[in-house]
Amino acid sequence: MTKLRFLATLFFVAASMLLMTGASMAADAPADSGYKVINRIAIGGEGGWDYLTFDAATHRLFIARGTRIQVVDVDSGKLLSEIPGLNGAHGVAIAASAGRAVASSGRSDSAVTFDLKTLAVVGTAKTGTKPDAILFDPATGLVAALNGGTSDVTLVDPASASTVASFKLTGRPETGVSDGKGKLFINLEDKNAIAMVDIKARKVLATWPMDGCDEPTGLAFDAASHRLFSSCHNNTLVVVDSDTGRNVQKLTIGGRVDAAAFDASAKLIFTTNGEGNISVIRQDSADHYTSLANVPTAPGARTVALDEQKHVLYTVANITGSEPGAKPVFTLLVVGRP
């Protein structure tokens, strides 16, 4: 082989290797989710916060803020009202069929019912100790308060604002979802598991462990594919079959996660991470998922509400302005695709 031919061959091999490496890097690189913070709305007010609940019928966002529930019109960005009478507010369950909503009051071991039109409080029901997450089950018309202190569920009738029943769980509940057919799926934080609950029978049907999950917090549900998405404190999302409890797939998410959401039409799962980002995961099929991106938000933005019609997410945090001596302001962050 001549020296010229040798150099040409060497150049061809090197160029081929570079092309192959570039293609491999492109294949390994996460896809861009397209999501970003598209609006910041200063809400203000003192105190911490917990769950956010979006009412699609009225375009109102309910924010649990310690001693009250803040009600925000997301179209105008205005704070419409503050519902008082809570002590350690954690979340709100919308019972649209009854025209009411029920909020958990963790330090008073109660659930406060208010009218969705007037936002006036209409009654208070006794719960177990330290009710935290709270959710509505359309099949029974009941609201389930998940009590972290007594590891049980209190069922509240929103129409009468009264306690209907309570039953024990097999671990400490963190959050839950309804399948819309009378079953609840509940993260058990101390068991690293999910409990499947029959509301009508008022008992736990099964408890499913999640391998590689430490302290599950957020939970979302895809009714079409029968899949649960549980976000865990060790930077892990576990996909679980809601029929069998089979662990389908594990994915890496951001740190200090608290909540999760699923956009059914977009086939996207979101987890809000207190370290200051939202992890976006694409559902390719019932058994295959791809991590897309960690979208920057703000430190402390750990809870989320989803508007499925607009495909936007709402999260909140205390944000400090850039001017000297600025104080943190409680701010609503709107995350979407511009």
Residues 224 and 205 in one domain: no
Residues 288 and 161 in one domain: no
Locate the DSSP E strands across 117-161. 121-126, 131-137, 142-147, 152-157
Looking at residue 279, its amino acid is S
Is 239 among the domain residues?
Answer: yes
Is 73 among the domain residues?
Answer: yes
176-233 residue pLDDT tens: 999 999 999 999 999 999 999 999 999 999 999 999 999 999 999 999 999 999 999 9
Helices (H) and strands (E) in the chain, counts: 1, 28
Is 285 among the domain residues?
Answer: yes
Reported as a pLDDT band with limits 50, 70 and 90, residue 31 is low
Closest CA to 227 of 277, 267, 192, 169: 267
Is 13 among the domain residues?
Answer: no
Residues 61 and 148 in one domain: yes
Q: ∠ CA 280-329-232 to the nearest 5 degrees? A: 30
Count of structural domains within the chain: 2
**What mean pLDDT do residues 41-48 have?**
96
CB-CB contact of 314 with 332 (8 Å): yes
Is 26 among the domain residues?
Answer: no
Residues 91 and 118 in one domain: yes
- Give the list of residues 6+ apart from residue 42 with CB closer than 8 angstroms, or none: 329, 330, 331, 332
Residues 59 and 190 in one domain: yes
Is 20 among the domain residues?
Answer: no
Residues 157 and 90 in one domain: yes
pLDDT of 45 strictly over 90: yes
Torsion on CA atoms 77, 80, 85, 90, rounded to nearest 10: -20
Residues 231 and 322 in one domain: yes
The SS3 of residue 23 is helix
Average pLDDT of the chain, as a whole number = 92
pLDDT of 24 strictly over 80: no
CB-CB contact of 232 with 252 (8 Å): no
Give pLDDT, residue 321.
Answer: 87
Place of tokens 């008992």: 203
Exposure of 260 in the CB half-sphere (CA atoms within 13 A): 30
Reported as a pLDDT band with limits 50, 70 and 90, residue 22 is very low
Cα separations in angstroms, 309 against 141, 265, 266, 336: 24, 9, 10, 12
- Could you tell me the residue range of the domain that residue 329 belongs to? 33-46+215-338
Percent of the chain whose pLDDT exceeds 90:
89
- Give the list of residues 6+ apart from residue 332 with CB closer than 8 angstroms, or none: 40, 41, 42, 43, 61, 72, 77, 314, 315, 316
Residues 228 and 192 in one domain: no
Is 100 among the domain residues?
Answer: yes
CB-CB contact of 40 with 332 (8 Å): yes
257-305 residue pLDDT tens: 999 999 999 999 999 999 999 999 999 999 999 999 999 999 999 999 9
Specify the range with the lowest mean pLDDT, choosing from 18-32, 51-65, 306-320, 323-337: 18-32
Alpha-carbon distance of 94 to 81, in angstroms, equals 16
**What mean pLDDT do residues 136-151 have?**
98
Is 71 among the domain residues?
Answer: yes
CATH number at residue 79: 2.130.10.10
Residues 81 and 158 in one domain: yes
Question: Is the pTM for the entire model greater than 0.75?
Answer: yes
Domain boundary at 192, 209, 226, which? Answer: 209
Residues 240 and 190 in one domain: no
Looking at residue 268, its amino acid is L
Residues 163 and 237 in one domain: no
Residues 156 and 68 in one domain: yes
Looking at residue 86, its amino acid is L
CB-CB contact of 176 with 184 (8 Å): yes
Domain boundary at 174, 209, 244, which? Answer: 209
